[in-house]
Structure 1
């Protein structure tokens, strides 16, 4: 658990109740394209998108050693689910994991993203990783700031606007 201005922040593995809370947070406080892979159909949180969101997270329950080689976590701040973080094996360098996270709009700008990233780095170290990689776009100033605060080496592709980050996993 990490303490921020907005309270304690922790990563919680997803059980059914936590997954229901995560879906409720996503529907109330985020756009589908910000929190999940694309799903065909009309915009918004349609029943098909809600089902796809739940199925996507359930498929990752076995964790890093499961068939998807990926684990997702609910981000809990001040006792409430406010977003999600993930770690994945992606065939990169040995000892390297990939991460990504999203926070609901109401949880942004409170220092939670940096706290989550620190918790993810600790989780990666416990899983035996030496490094964690992430990518974002150059317009995502909050993500870039959190990555910098956690010591990321950043590389920007000026043609595409993509920013690649490499961090040391820390326990």
Structure 2
């Protein structure tokens, strides 16, 4: 069975489906920054999830310097992947989450490859990501994507070099 996986920038049309997947198939700390609210998917956490994602609608050029994509499989939202600016010229940072029912099916690898193509189109020369050593699916995914991994205490830092000429830096072209 062939699966169509695509990335769509998070917007008002796919924000509620993204929240639905998060609530049904992930823990809040897997999909959003910490919030001072009751445990679980309280109304306060749901509202914070919406506001967090809305704050990134401006994309890489916006005030947060982050572009969030809904990961869609066969037309259904199944997770999120993002690109974010860093202080390092030519470097973007990424992170992703998938709903539990779609993990381990290769969707994360496809989504990462798609977001790397977006990074190249934006002029990035490399993409970095951080994860925990015990998050073996993420570590293996990054390794399969050609990342160079380095562990520093409780963090694994991944660096993926992209096929962009060193003299082209569209990210810093203002």
* TM > 0.5: yes
Match of 2:172 in 1: none
TM-score normalised to the size of structure 2?
Answer: 0.90
- The aligned counterpart of 2:82 is 86
Contact 1:6–1:112 (CA under 8 A) maintained in structure 2: no
User: How many correspondences in the alignment?
Assistant: 164
CA deviations on 1:112-158 (whole Å, 9 max, x unpaired) are 1111110110010111101000010111111111111110000012x
Do the aligned residues in 2 keep the contact of 1:155 with 1:163 (CA within 8 Å)? Answer: yes
Task: Select which of 13, 16, 20 maps to 1:20.
Answer: 16
Q: Which residue of 1 aligns with 2:171?
A: none
Equivalent of residue 56 in structure 2, options 57, 60, 81: 60
Please list every run of 5 or more consecutive structure 2 residues that lacks an aligned counterpart in the other structure: 165-174
CA contact (8 A) 1:156 1:163 kept: yes
Structure 1 stretches lacking a partner, 5+ long: none
Tell me how large the CA RMSD over aligned residues is: 1.3
CA distance in structure 1 between the partners assigned to 2:5 and 2:150 by the alignment: 28
Q: Equivalent residue for 2:156?
A: 163
Distance 2:49 2:137 in 1: 24
Give runs of aligned pairs for residues 27-46 of structure 1, distance below 5 A: 27-46=23-42
Q: Is the 8 A contact 1:6 1:110 kept in 2?
A: no
